[in-house]
Chain A
């Protein structure tokens, strides 16, 4: 067996169905893991699973990622426990109910905090650590939903587009430090987040497929990745429909 040097892999939002698959794959190739989520019971199950797979350590940390102090504590703990961060995946997110958001400022702002601000909080701290370290990969799961505002989903979409724009700038900044920044844009993935949506047709991917794409993209230091690839073409079409037509569509 070929043995690659082990990496320290930090996965934030590790109880996400997609992140779980990524964690399994990194554990299978014998890396050290640091897993963060807010649900202790679920996180323990995932950590146990990874510990069976890898000979290296599996650390866990419980945090609500909309809480700044908890994020600070998390990074203190990470730096305590890991000698470096070789891979950082930020995966957490929520899918708000658009209709409810339209009637409720609290819900709208919370969705933006969960999907946008919390990610930027994490990345702002992580960027400095990796910049100093002069190596490593940052990967974040945004969404194709961030590429064009649609009436059915623009609150979630705007938070994701904030993340994508932030990542572009960050990539630009960290390039000279040898840090790679990957923006992962899934389309429809069959996970608990989309449990209420009826799954039909070939556009739906499994969390395992997307997990595989994420691991491969990080390994190849990719920049923007559509998961699966065909979303690049779908989004090319969707983003090129002129606004005067688009606004009349019920997307």
Chain B
């Protein structure tokens, strides 16, 4: 169908007014890489259809909280304005909303009503569609699994403009391809998410210092029953302090209060000079952070500071300067996990290129979604300021991760090779079959998917 037949259809042209921005440069959270794109903003379903039908190829884009190029392409369809609620069932806690609704929106509306998210990543500024497309995980993955776990149904628009529903029981393969599918199956229009009842917006958090990586993993082991856990690692520490960390375990607090916190006031107003993040400042920061933390402390903390510590500093990504940074997140299987983490941390601390704070999490069992990241094991997320010397190091890290049977997270990725990807994600072939079956192969491609060899 062409543009002109769209216009003469029963829908008044006024309903398909959409904002277009002339080819512009876009970046995502890592500010690396950038891409030239023609970006359209969809406000209604008809807009999505119009742009799918009138462009040869495109990729959906949400809040651009992925770090690399997974929502970059020559044509991008931004779905953040498609952000209304559709229905909420007070009995089951099932919320149906449009794709661009953010987790922040949901918390703001539902926490005061006594409902909350079951699974959330480390930032609330992501869209529901983005969270589905990356099948994101939170600090409770070892118990609750990935975001798809609380998704009852997805409505997707395919390359021919048709809407199709998929769920764990309906069009199952399309569901498994779409959850973690990085936008490559179609444009998510809406989804039904399960919320859980809550009486509190607070967590009871234990902070424990671990003097090295081995101890950190032991603490995770001892705290298997805690609902949430995460550790901050100083990845510049060496020797028998290698992997010294602050482990945080939490469960929902008894304090019965449903309160929202005001949004972040601190902001990084502009890109910092390239020198801001050098190895001395990072080492100093890490040492300070580590020494400041009190050992064996129990605190009652608001979900805002427990779930989203980084959201407290708006635009913190600008600290890495205009050239941006790469976040390298990998997971290695639990078996031999300590060995793998030790080798990798040694490599990083020897290279003196480590990041500020590194997040360590234990992940639970993998799910059936084709490109889902988590497997039972340990995941580390490290930031590397873009500089000519990091690429070689990252390639070496890839080799180690692969050797131990691990994976690299797609929504953080900006540079992985096709070969590495295909080894990490053997189910890529299943994804391609589903994409072929539903006609998505030619239409939905990103700069990332092209780099990873998913283009037909």
**Interface residues, chain A, with chain B CB atoms under 8 Å away:** 1, 17, 28, 39, 41-42, 45-46, 48-49, 52-53, 190, 192, 195-196, 198-199
Contact = CB atoms under 8 A, between A and B. Distances in A.
A52 B21 contact: no
Interface in B9-45: 12, 14-15, 17-22, 43-44
B112 interface: yes
A153 B132 CA distance: 44
B109 interface: yes
A199 B43 CA distance: 17
A17 B81 CA distance: 10
Nearest to B108: A28
A195 B15 CA distance: 13
B40 to A, nearest CB: 10
Nearest to B20: A195
Contacts of B87: 48, 52
Please classify how large the interface on chain B is, using the bins under 10, 10 to 19, 20 to 34, 35 or more: 20 to 34
B44 A45 contact: yes
Contact of B86 (A28, A41, A52, A195): A52
B307 interface: no
| Of A42, A48, A198, most B-chain CB atoms within 10 Å | A48
A100 to B, nearest CB: 16
Interface of B: 12, 14-15, 17-22, 43-44, 84-88, 95, 108-109, 112, 258
Contact of A28 (B17, B19, B21, B109): B109
A48 B12 contact: no
B85 A49 contact: yes
A28 B14 CA distance: 28
B15 A53 contact: no
Contact of A190 (B12, B14, B19, B112): B19
Contacts of A198: 21-22
Contacts of B12: 39
Nearest to B101: A49
21 contacts: A1-B258, A17-B43, A28-B109, A39-B12, A41-B15, A42-B15, A49-B84, A49-B85, A49-B86, A52-B85, A52-B87, A52-B88, A53-B85, A192-B18, A192-B19, A195-B18, A195-B19, A195-B20, A196-B20, A198-B21, A198-B22
A39 B22 CA distance: 28
Contacts of B19: 190, 192, 195
B interface: dominant SS: mixed
Contacts of A46: 84
Contacts of B86: 45, 48-49, 52
A1 B22 CA distance: 46
A39 B14 contact: yes
B422 to A, nearest CB: 40
Contacts of A53: 85, 109
A45 B17 CA distance: 16
Given A28-B108, A192-B18, 6 more contacts: A1-B112, A49-B86, A53-B85, A190-B19, A196-B20, A198-B21
| Of A1, A46, A199, most B-chain CB atoms within 10 Å | A1
A28 to B, nearest CB: 6
Contact of B44 (A28, A42, A190): A42
A1 B15 CA distance: 39
Contacts of B108: 28
A48 B85 contact: yes
| 10 closest Cβ pairs, A-B complex | A49-B84, A52-B85, A195-B19, A192-B17, A52-B88, A49-B85, A45-B84, A48-B86, A195-B17, A53-B109
A34 B164 CA distance: 33
A41 B11 CA distance: 10
A199 B21 contact: yes
A196 B18 CA distance: 9
Contacts of A192: 17-19, 43
A17 B41 CA distance: 13
| Of B15, B19, B22, most A-chain CB atoms within 10 Å | B19
A52 B93 CA distance: 12
Nearest to B81: A17
A53 B109 CA distance: 7
Contacts of B95: 52
Contacts of B43: 17, 192
A52 B15 contact: no
A228 to B, nearest CB: 17
